[in-house]
Amino acid sequence: MNYHGQSTSKIYQELNTSKQGLDSTEAEKRKTQYGPNELVQKKKISIFRLFLHQFKDVMILILLVAAVISFIVGDSKDTIVILIIVFLNAIIGFVQEYRAEKAMEALKKMSSLNATLRRAGTIVQVPATEVVPGDIVIIEAGMLVPADLRLIQTHVLKIEEASLTGESHAVTKSSDKITSENVPLGDRLNMAYKSTTITNGRGEGIVVATGMNTEIGRIAQLLQEDKVKTPLQKRLADFARKLSFAVIGICIALFIAGWLRGEQPIQMLLTAISVAVAAIPEALPAVITIALALGAKRMVRQNALIRKLPAAETLGTVSYICTDKTGTITQNKMTVNDCWVSPEAKAIDDYSPEQLMLLGMELNHDVTTDENNELVGDPTETALVDYTRKNNNYNPQWRTDFKRAYELPFDSDRKRMTTVYPFNGKWLVVTKGAVERLLSICPANKTEVINAKTEQFAQEGKRVLAYAIKEISELPQQITAENFEKGLSFIGLAAMIDPPRAESIQAITDCHAAGITVIMLTGDHPITAKAIATETGILQDATDMVVTGTQLAKFTDQEFQDKLDSIKVFARVSPEQKLNIVKALQNKNHFVAVTGDGVNDAPALKRADIGVAMGITGTDVSKEAADMILLDDNFATIILAVREGRRIFDNIRKFVKYILTGNSGEIWTIFLAPLLGLPIPLIPIQILWVNLISDGLPALAFAAEPAEENILKRPPRKNNESIFAGGIATHILWVGLLMGLVCLGTQAWAIHNENSKWATMVFTVLSLSQMGHALAIRSDIKSLFTMGIFGNKQLIFAVLVTLGLQLAVIYMPFLQSVFRTQNLTLSELALCLGLSSIIFWSVETEKWIKRLKKQSP
């Protein structure tokens, strides 16, 4: 439909709507008719396909080959058991992936955006998915357009449509009808398209298409996002690949050695295959996704919404946090409590300077009222409007007398906003903004007095806004900021308090203890910023510096590099400078989290290692660019998320340590036996069993391990630090070797004593050793007994279930014939338990030595 070529009245008619918007019953009706306003994602993979997907794993295929070989050599019992094991493996893999997927879906839903609509004459916010054709949408800088719109009103509206047209420059829009034919998408200036970005100004439009009927919907197939692997997953996948080669080498050696010793080749082949399957940690990537997704779910409960999964993993590495001030460090509850009118200010017509100040505060804002007559809008502006409306000299008539003709919306670069009104046959221009940005366009003022007053307010931590006004008889030819924002007369200042959040002070102390430097990047006045930074502890030492954007611009690269470490507050910085600061910190090898809310913050958020957007005050654009959203806009939430990130990483590390040590134990046992002149102690299905029970439940339970006590008292880990750092590689080797030796010791002892059940005993010792190991590595340093045995109930549950399964395999006659096990006497069982606990006690001793070393300087 050619909406751009039609007049707006025709479109109202066509879509059966009006300027006041649809009412809720009609909207509801249309929702059923048109469906949700969303781009349909790639066909969701069905549960059945997800299950089948598990069989694609190379290891599983190898096992299936093993099943076939068993069948050919006539061992159909083994074939069945291998098939059952394959099936169980697939179920475990499936459950793991399914949980991860569900958790991710839930997170995605939460990060969906809202749209501002006019429905039945009232402004309402609804989830963008509920927008229907005929709705009237209000858009402004920072938002993403929620649906395809025919614009009916624009105020310096600029939209960046690169996703549709490839043109990266923002296009200025208007509501005029386009008469020429065959206008390409990029030239339809009176249309706004779903998912494009509003970079400037404001506007209103009628929804003409939603969901897959929008222009972006038509090319939505191109936008399907692929699952991204986290850096750790990539590294581990790479590691697993290298390990596979090593393991396959070992298995070939094992096969040849056994063959030469005269073992049955088929049996040796099956053993070698089982060892390969057991030793390659194929479950690692899936379990990491679960740990991350579950961690991300926990973070949401603490108001940190992870948008990009890798962030959950890398949060623990953050060494620098660049935070903004308003709302994040402070409460964003502004109250104007000082208003100062310059003695130089002059009356215009009948309006005294005092009245002009109040008039300016009434006129120059984007605040609206909701159905309860409450002010809604930017807290700075609502505070100003609230103040003026409560003042005795305020005249309510102004609200209807002055009709806004033009506006030049606020942006963080100009730090000003201007509105224009017809005024007694002339025009009244009102500008408000940062003090120095107003003084520069008010030529005839004594700046010293104004600056002194500003400084006085700022030193009290107040945000100061200045007002200026002028009367002009003719409009400039073009409605641009440059044309209006000059030659104004200064009127006065409004100062407002915005107290720091009580939690910020503690959170900043926590950051310092956790080795994280916090700096403030703000658009506000340096003195205001300094006052708040001092109060919250961001500025601590005498050497800590406050630098303004203007000073920063004058620094040479070298000066900037040298001073960077001591600068704790950057005030009046532009979004571009924000980006440069982030880059400079990254060049110094810092892992940087950056908060932002405005449309201009998007580049810095994208560039940051962790971009953090504000859930309440943040623009859609900043949220889209961010890795994490603070649902409560609160700085303290960042450090909670960092804590959770560190915990997730710790737990992944414990899990890797657990799995690989177990695998190493299995390999040592089987590999060393022939070298020590012993028969290979485990048959293939026993190996597969040990692998299955140890990779399954206990491994998952590590994701539930609570954070270690000192988690926020240690420095952040290095970004590129290996997952095996901190002695994990040695641990895997020595504990695995010990496991192997204990198993082989058991075997040798039993054979020596002519105990025919030696195979069952080795099998039991190997399984139970893994459980003891799981319990012992819950902490890297603390003893299990000080941590509390029941500190991780899931792990206890996993250990008990595994123990139960192992007993079933030993004692149930049917399973005995499958696993070639024999009844152990109680004392034999107790002996196995005792022997397998050697691993537990050895790891406890390792931690004890670590504690001793830590105590002695």
In whole angstroms, what is the distance from residue 344 CA to residue 466 CA?
14
Judged by CB under 6 A, the stretch of 216-224, 255-263, 387-395, 517-525 that binds ligand ATP is 517-525
SS3 sequence, 468-531?
A: EEEEECCCCCCCCHHHHCCCCEEEEEEEEECCECHHHHHHHHHHHHCCCEEEEECCCCHHHHHH
Whole-Å CA distances, 13 to 7, 19, 135, 180, 616? 10, 11, 13, 22, 36
Residue 275 · residue 247 · CB < 8 Å: yes
Q: Which residue has 């400079």 as its token pair?
A: 584
Closest approach, Cβ 116 to ligand ATP, in A, equals: 17
In whole angstroms, what is the distance from residue 246 CA to residue 240 CA?
10
283 exposure class (CB count in 10 Å sphere: 0-12, 13-18, 19+): buried
Closest approach, Cβ 458 to ligand ATP, in A, equals: 10
Residue among 150, 173, 432, 778 that touches ligand ATP (CB under 6 A): 432
Nearer to ligand ATP, 552 or 692 (CB): 552
The yes or no reply on residue 412 touching ligand ATP (CB under 6 A) is yes
Residue among 155, 298, 415, 643 that touches ligand ATP (CB under 6 A): 415
Strands across the sheet with 416-423, in order?
335-341, 489-497, 463-472, 426-433, 416-423, 406-411
Supply 833's token pair.
Answer: 């338990």
Nearer to ligand ATP, 384 or 810 (CB): 384
Nearer to ligand ATP, 202 or 416 (CB): 416
The yes or no reply on residue 381 touching ligand ATP (CB under 6 A) is yes
The yes or no reply on residue 416 touching ligand ATP (CB under 6 A) is yes
Residue nearest to ligand ATP (CB): 523
Closest approach, Cβ 381 to ligand ATP, in A, equals: 5
What is the bridge-based pairing of β-strands 426-433 and 463-472? antiparallel
Binding track over 158-197 against ligand ATP, x by CB under 6 A: ----------------------------------------
Closest approach, Cβ 327 to ligand ATP, in A, equals: 6
Sign of the CA dihedral with 675 first, then 677, 681, and 683 last:
positive
The yes or no reply on residue 632 touching ligand ATP (CB under 6 A) is no
Judged by CB under 6 A, the stretch of 188-196, 252-260, 431-439, 704-712 that binds ligand ATP is 431-439
Nearer to ligand ATP, 134 or 142 (CB): 142
Closest approach, Cβ 585 to ligand ATP, in A, equals: 18
Closest approach, Cβ 366 to ligand ATP, in A, equals: 7
Residue among 269, 296, 417, 626 that touches ligand ATP (CB under 6 A): 417
Nearest to 617 by CA among 640, 603, 636, 601: 601
Closest approach, Cβ 355 to ligand ATP, in A, equals: 20
- Hey, which residues between 271 and 310 contact ligand ATP (CB under 6 A)? none
Nearest to 533 by CA among 333, 337, 323, 378: 323
Residue 340 · residue 493 · CB < 8 Å: yes
In whole angstroms, what is the distance from residue 629 CA to residue 841 CA?
44
In whole angstroms, what is the distance from residue 288 CA to residue 309 CA?
11
Residue among 54, 314, 522, 747 that touches ligand ATP (CB under 6 A): 522
Q: What amino acid is encoded at 412 in this protein?
A: S
Residue 290 · residue 700 · CB < 8 Å: yes
SS3 298: helix
The yes or no reply on residue 485 touching ligand ATP (CB under 6 A) is no
Is position 324 annotated as part of the catalytic site? yes
Closest approach, Cβ 169 to ligand ATP, in A, equals: 22
- Hey, which residues between 319 and 348 contact ligand ATP (CB under 6 A)? 324-326
Rounded to 5 degrees, what are φ and ψ at 107? Answer: -65, -40
In whole angstroms, what is the distance from residue 386 CA to residue 734 CA?
70
In whole angstroms, what is the distance from residue 846 CA to residue 849 CA?
5
Nearer to ligand ATP, 596 or 716 (CB): 596
Residues in the chain: 857
Q: Where are the beta strands (DSSP E) in 52-147?
A: 114-119, 122-127, 136-140
- Hey, which residues between 51 and 80 contact ligand ATP (CB under 6 A)? none
Q: H/E element holding 458?
A: helix 447-459
Catalytic residue from among 324, 510, 597, 633 = 324
Residue among 380, 388, 637, 802 that touches ligand ATP (CB under 6 A): 380
Region for residue 437 given its phi and psi (left: phi exceeds 0; alpha: psi -120 to 50; beta: otherwise)? alpha
Sign of the CA dihedral with 613 first, then 615, 618, and 621 last:
positive
Closest approach, Cβ 314 to ligand ATP, in A, equals: 25
Judged by CB under 6 A, the stretch of 41-49, 90-98, 519-527, 793-801 that binds ligand ATP is 519-527
Judged by CB under 6 A, the stretch of 51-59, 128-136, 432-440, 765-773 that binds ligand ATP is 432-440
Residue among 236, 254, 356, 434 that touches ligand ATP (CB under 6 A): 434
Closest approach, Cβ 526 to ligand ATP, in A, equals: 10
The yes or no reply on residue 622 touching ligand ATP (CB under 6 A) is no
The yes or no reply on residue 462 touching ligand ATP (CB under 6 A) is no
Closest approach, Cβ 328 to ligand ATP, in A, equals: 7
Judged by CB under 6 A, the stretch of 204-212, 378-386, 439-447, 811-819 that binds ligand ATP is 378-386
How many residues belong to the site for ligand ATP (CB under 6 A)? 19
Nearer to ligand ATP, 70 or 522 (CB): 522
Residue among 60, 192, 290, 465 that touches ligand ATP (CB under 6 A): 465
Judged by CB under 6 A, the stretch of 109-117, 135-143, 411-419, 700-708 that binds ligand ATP is 411-419
Judged by CB under 6 A, the stretch of 195-203, 502-510, 522-530, 711-719 that binds ligand ATP is 522-530
**Cα–chain center distance at 476:** 46
- Chain residues binding ligand ATP by CB under 6 A are 324-326, 378, 380-381, 410, 412, 415-417, 432-434, 463, 465, 522-524
Active site (catalytic) residues: 324
